[in-house]
Amino acid sequence: MEGSLKPMDAEQLRECAHKMVDFVADYYKNIENFPVLSQVQPGYLRELLPDSAPTHPESLQDVLNDVQAKILPGVTHWQSPDYFAYFPSNSSIAGFLGEMLSAGINMVGFSWITSPAATELEMIVLDWLAKALKLPDEFLSTGKGGGVIQGTACEAVLVVLLAARDRVLRKVGKDAVGKLVVYSSDQTHSALQKACQIGGIHPENCQVLETDPSTDHALAPESLSQAISQDIASGLIPFFLCATVGTTSSTAVDPLLALGNITKTNGMWFHVDAAYAGSACICPEFRHYIDGVEEADSFNMNAHKWFLTNFDCSALWIKDRSALIQSLSTNPEFLKNKASEGNTVVDYKDWQIPLGRRFRCVI
Ligand X SMILES: *Cc1c(COP(=O)(O)O)cnc(C)c1O
Q: How many residues bind ligand X (CB under 6 A)?
A: 14
How many of the other CB atoms lie within 10 Å of CB of 360? 23
Q: How far is the CB of 282 from ligand X (least distance, A)?
A: 17
Burial call 296-315: b when 16+ CB within 10 Å, e when fewer: bbbbbbbbbbbbbbbbbbbb
- How far apart are the C-alpha atoms of 5 and 348, rounded to whole Å? 28
- How far apart are the C-alpha atoms of 251 and 303, rounded to whole Å? 17
Nearer of residues 192 and 201 to ligand X, judged by Cβ: 192
Is the preceding omega at residue 312 within 30 degrees of 0, hence cis? yes
Nearer of residues 156 and 168 to ligand X, judged by Cβ: 156
Nearer of residues 275 and 323 to ligand X, judged by Cβ: 275
How many of the other CB atoms lie within 10 Å of CB of 133? 20
Nearer of residues 88 and 136 to ligand X, judged by Cβ: 88
Q: Quick check: 273 binds ligand X (CB under 6 A)?
A: yes
With CB under 6 A as the contact rule, the residue among 102, 244, 279, 310 that binds ligand X is 244
Answer for the pair 275, 302: CB distance below 8 angstroms, yes or no.
Answer: yes
Site for ligand X in 58-117 (CB under 6 A): 87
CA angle 76, 194, 158 (to 5 degrees): 100
With CB under 6 A as the contact rule, the residue among 80, 115, 152, 225 that binds ligand X is 152
| Closest C-alpha to 296, from 270, 276, 263 | 270
Residue type, 93: I
Instruction: Give the range of 103-111, 216-224, 244-252, 259-267 binding ligand X by CB under 6 A.
Output: 244-252
Q: How far is the CB of 248 from ligand X (least distance, A)?
A: 4
Q: Quick check: 167 binds ligand X (CB under 6 A)?
A: no
Q: Quick check: 191 binds ligand X (CB under 6 A)?
A: yes
Q: How far is the CB of 275 from ligand X (least distance, A)?
A: 3
**Strand residue runs (E) in 151-281:** 180-185, 206-209, 237-244, 269-273
Nearer of residues 160 and 236 to ligand X, judged by Cβ: 160
Q: How far is the CB of 189 from ligand X (least distance, A)?
A: 3
Instruction: Determine the angle formed by the axes of helices 153-172 and 321-328, rounding to 10 degrees.
Output: 90
- How far apart are the C-alpha atoms of 362 and 30, rounded to whole Å? 27
Nearer of residues 111 and 298 to ligand X, judged by Cβ: 298
Instruction: Give the range of 134-142, 268-276, 281-289, 330-338 binding ligand X by CB under 6 A.
Output: 268-276
First to last CA, the chain: 33
Q: How far is the CB of 34 from ligand X (least distance, A)?
A: 24
Site string (16-55) toward ligand X, x via CB under 6 A: ----------------------------------------
With CB under 6 A as the contact rule, the residue among 239, 240, 269, 276 that binds ligand X is 276
Nearer of residues 190 and 343 to ligand X, judged by Cβ: 190
Q: Alpha helices of the chain — where are they, by DSSP H? A: 10-30, 44-48, 60-66, 93-105, 116-132, 153-172, 190-199, 221-233, 256-265, 303-306, 321-328, 338-341
Q: Quick check: 154 binds ligand X (CB under 6 A)?
A: yes
| Closest C-alpha to 217, from 190, 260, 247 | 247
With CB under 6 A as the contact rule, the residue among 228, 275, 281, 293 that binds ligand X is 275
Q: Quick check: 314 binds ligand X (CB under 6 A)?
A: yes
Where along the sequence are the contacts to ligand X (CB under 6 A)?
A: 87, 152-154, 189, 191, 244, 247-248, 273, 275-276, 302, 314
